[in-house]
């Protein structure tokens, strides 16, 4: 089982599955195993099935360690995001190409020194170039309109941002804002995994346009989640390897 999909807000399952609880040294994680054409694909609902865990309390280390323990090497994730780029509007699909980290209080590494050693992880290419390119191919086959690539700013949440914060993030180069991709992508790199995230714009960020409405978030996700996860599954039906990306060599151990 080397392929997994992490479903963000609004994406809580991908079909008939068997649920599994995985014990890790960081705590438990819960996954569903889905059989697609004879191959088992792992599905992990980032916030729990009923959206019960807020972004700052998600046990990212348990989730990622659990995926590693069952053999996962390739991960696609969905992310509900607000847009601070006027070119990306509600319902649009964007490929995340880089991140800016404004989280504050989360465990952000597996490497805490001592026995676990000191590791500095290369972030020159946080999102797997091979998975991104395969997603583009499948999105084309499925006529998914990818609006563009986006720099993701990760905030601590769970509150939304102030208008001044959004102005700052935008000036720093952010296109979209969310609360969960860090440390998820960082931990994936620490484990030498290939990881790619696709953003679905659910709202304009505070101060960019009118206020955030919950039904906007649900509606935008519902319109896109199935087709985006279908593209992920189509990539997973093919063969993948780690020869044309740098993901498995991201750790720099001192
Ligand atoms: N800000 C932060 N996270 C989000 C947003 C937002 O506007 N929309 C969806 N997730």
Nearest residue by C-alpha to atom 7 in ligand 1:
82
Which of the given ranges, 37-46, 116-125, 168-177, has the highest pLDDT on average? 168-177
160 Cβ inside 6 Å of ligand 1: yes
Which of the given ranges, 36-45, 135-144, 206-215, has the highest pLDDT on average? 135-144
Q: Are 160 and 206 in contact (CB under 8 A)?
A: yes
Q: What is the mean pLDDT of residues 197-224?
A: 79
The helix (H) or strand (E) run that includes residue 172 is helix 163-172
Burial class (CB in 10 A: 0-12, 13-18, 19+), 159: exposed
pLDDT score of 161 more than 60? yes
pLDDT, tens only, 104-136 = 999 999 998 887 788 899 999 999 999 999 999
Share of the chain above pLDDT 70, in %: 92
| Nearby residues of 44 by Cβ (< 8 Å), 6 or more positions away | 4, 5, 6, 7, 29, 30, 31, 32, 63, 66, 67
Q: How many CB atoms lie within 10 A of CB 72?
A: 23
202 Cβ inside 6 Å of ligand 1: yes
Q: What is the mean pLDDT of residues 161-180?
A: 97
Position 252 in a domain: no
Please, what's the b/e burial string for 82-93 (b: 16 or more CB within 10 A of its CB; e: otherwise)? bbbbeebebbbb
178 Cβ inside 6 Å of ligand 1: yes
Taking the C-alpha atoms of residue 20 and residue 39, their distance in angstroms, rounded to an integer, is 16
Nearest residue by C-alpha to atom 8 in ligand 1:
82
Nearest residue by C-alpha to atom 5 in ligand 1:
82
Position 253 in a domain: no
pLDDT of residue 246: 93
177 Cβ inside 6 Å of ligand 1: yes
Position 248 in a domain: no
DSSP 8-state symbol, 206? B
pLDDT of residue 8: 74
Position 247 in a domain: no
Q: Structural domain of residue 151, as residue ranges? A: 3-241
State how many domains the chain has: 1
Q: Are 2 and 194 in contact (CB under 8 A)?
A: no
pLDDT of residue 52: 85
The alpha carbon of 217 and the centre of ligand 1 are apart by a number of angstroms equal to: 9
The alpha carbon of 53 and the centre of ligand 1 are apart by a number of angstroms equal to: 15
The CATH number covering residue 26 comes to 3.40.50.1580
- Rounded to the nearest angstrom, the gap between the alpha carbon of residue 87 and the centroid of all alpha carbons in its chain is 21
Nearest residue by C-alpha to atom 2 in ligand 1:
178
Of 136-140, 202-206, 212-216, minimum mean pLDDT range: 212-216
């Amino acid at each position: 089982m080397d392929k997994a999909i992490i479903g963000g807000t609004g994406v809580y399952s991908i079909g008939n599955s068997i649920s599994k609880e995985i014990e890790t040294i960081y705590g438990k994680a819960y996954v569903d195993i889905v059989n697609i054409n004879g191959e088992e694909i792992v599905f992990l609902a980032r916030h729990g099935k009923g959206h019960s865990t807020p972004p700052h309390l998600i046990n990212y280390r348990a989730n990622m360690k659990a995926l590693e323990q069952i053999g996962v090497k390739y991960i696609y994730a969905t992310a509900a995001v607000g847009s601070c780029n006027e070119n990306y509007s509600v319902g649009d699909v964007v490929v995340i190409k880089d991140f800016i980290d404004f989280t504050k209080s989360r465990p952000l590494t597996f490497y805490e020194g001592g026995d676990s050693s000191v590791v500095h992880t290369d972030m020159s290419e946080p999102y797997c170039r091979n998975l991104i390119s395969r997603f583009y191919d499948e999105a084309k086959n499925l006529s998914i309109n990818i609006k563009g690539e986006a720099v993701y700013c990760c905030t601590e949440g769970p509150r939304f941002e102030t208008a001044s914060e959004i102005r700052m993030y935008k000036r720093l180069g952010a296109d979209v804002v969310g609360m969960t991709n860090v440390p998820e992508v960082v931990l994936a790199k620490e484990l030498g995994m290939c990881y790619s995230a696709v953003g679905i714009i659910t709202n304009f960020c505070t101060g960019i346009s009118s206020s955030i409405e919950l039904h906007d978030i649900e509606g935008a996700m519902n319109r896109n989640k199935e087709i985006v996860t279908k593209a992920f599954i189509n990539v997973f039906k093919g063969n993948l390897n780690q020869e044309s990306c740098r993901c498995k060599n991201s750790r720099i151990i001192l």
